[in-house]
Amino acid sequence: MADSATIDFTLERLAAEQQFALWHDLVQPLFRVGIEDEARAAFRAEMRAMPLADALLTTCTSRAQTFARSMGDVRSSGWDHVVIQHYVAGGFTGLCGDRTVSVAAGDINVLDLNRTLHTQATDFSNLTLILPRDRLPLAGSNDLHGRAIERGSALAAVIGSHLRSLAEHAGALTPREAGAALDALCLLLSGSDLRQADPLVRAAAGASVHDRVCAYIDRHLDDPALSPAGIAAACRVSRATLYRLFGFEGGVMAYIAGRRLDRAFMALNRPDDGRSSIAQVAFRSGFTSETHFSRSFRSRFAMSPREARRRAHEGLHPADAAPGLGPRDWVQAMRRVRETI
């Protein structure tokens, strides 16, 4: 990987309040940040971002701030990633989903970008690795959001050293070497106590079954009779296993409803879809009631199906549903901004 892929983003030329405003916009694909009004005059932050195979590694130093990620942010960002962080200095407290967390220097913590969070960080320096979910099978059948490997353990020290070494040498690694380095890190994480004694074999098998069930659901979304019993029978898993696999998504029926709504949203955004009524889109997506469909659509996308279609015809992307910047696009956006300051 060429050194030009790395971007150093420092804001020292700007006034503190300008630094925070720009920092807020830069970090927004991942988190919404905030600070107390009286702290704006002293704000400082810098970041180094390094694409690494299909992942992204950043080093960051910043003054204290809050970090938040709502369900609206989850829907709009389009990032199906897991975040591995190593705090070199400082830390944070708060909520990851409904889990109370406290992370300090030396800890290795895990965040899931499909989940909500609200945390308060002290002044800090950290390394953040943003991984596609399928790189870490452990994440497929375990709720890792907010879990940590505590400082002082040998494993936390080894993973922290691995991340620091990646940050130091990222620019010199070929894509194949970078991929191997990430695989090694994922093996270390898979052997950790993050999974609370779930065997690795079970985690890998669970991820495989989850993918198979998801593929079956996608092929049958238009079937209003799609049910847990039918899915379990067709995929040869017990209903208890099915419920466990989709506990992360709020249950199998919640997952199905979400996929149906996503399909309907895509249909309403196709330029040639104007010939179909809203009811037809709903029924083709597996809904049996237009009223229920419209209510669920508004809850998920913060707009009605009719408004989504109108916006699409006008060339507008709904703010709460438009796909966000992917990791590499994010780096390119940072580079363009960096060139202007």
pLDDT of 44: 87
For residues 143 and 107, what is the distance between their CA atoms, to the nearest angstrom? 18
Flag whether pLDDT at 322 surpasses 50: no
* pLDDT above 70 (res 264): yes
Is the predicted pLDDT of residue 319 greater than 50, yes or no?
no
Total residue count of the chain as it appears in this document: 341
The whole-number pLDDT of residue 65 equals 93
Check pLDDT > 80 for residue 267: yes
Q: How far apart are CA 170 and CA 99, in angstroms?
A: 33
Sign of the torsion angle spanned by Cα atoms 334, 335, 336, 338: positive
2 three-state secondary structure: coil
Report the greatest alpha carbon distance in the chain.
63
What's the burial of 16, exposed, middle or buried (CB within 10 Å: 0-12/13-18/19+)? middle
**pLDDT tens digits, 111-139:** 999 889 999 999 999 999 999 888 887 77
- Higher per-residue confidence, 210 vs 53: 53
Contact status, residue 234 vs residue 269, Cβ threshold 8 Å = no
| pLDDT computed for residue 259 by the predictor | 86
User: From CA 183, how far away is CA 181, in angstroms rounded?
Assistant: 5
Cα–Cα distance between 151 and 109 in angstroms, integer?
10
Rounded average pLDDT over 291-303? 84
pLDDT the model gives residue 103: 96
Best-predicted range by mean pLDDT among 20-24, 75-79, 91-95, 334-338?
A: 91-95
Q: Angle between the 228-235 and 252-268 helix axes, to the nearest 10 degrees?
A: 100
The H or E element that residue 21 is part of is helix 16-27
- For 5-46, the pLDDT digits (tens) are 677 777 667 777 777 888 888 888 889 999 888 888 888 888
**Six token digits for residue 155:** 């494993």
Q: How does pLDDT run across 190-199, given as a tens digit for each residue?
A: 766 665 434 4
Q: CA 94, CA 243: separation in Å to the nearest integer?
A: 28
Q: Which amino acid is at 230?
A: G
Tokens of 56: 């992204």
Distance between CA atoms of 98 and 233, rounded to whole angstroms?
A: 33
- What's the pLDDT at 40? 81
Q: Report the pLDDT averaged over residues 49-77.
A: 88
Chain centre to alpha carbon of residue 78 = 7
Query: In terms of Cα–Cα distance, which of 32, 34, 190 is closest to 116?
Result: 32
Q: What is the pLDDT of residue 80?
A: 80
What is the model's pTM? Answer: 0.61
131 token code pair:
């991984």
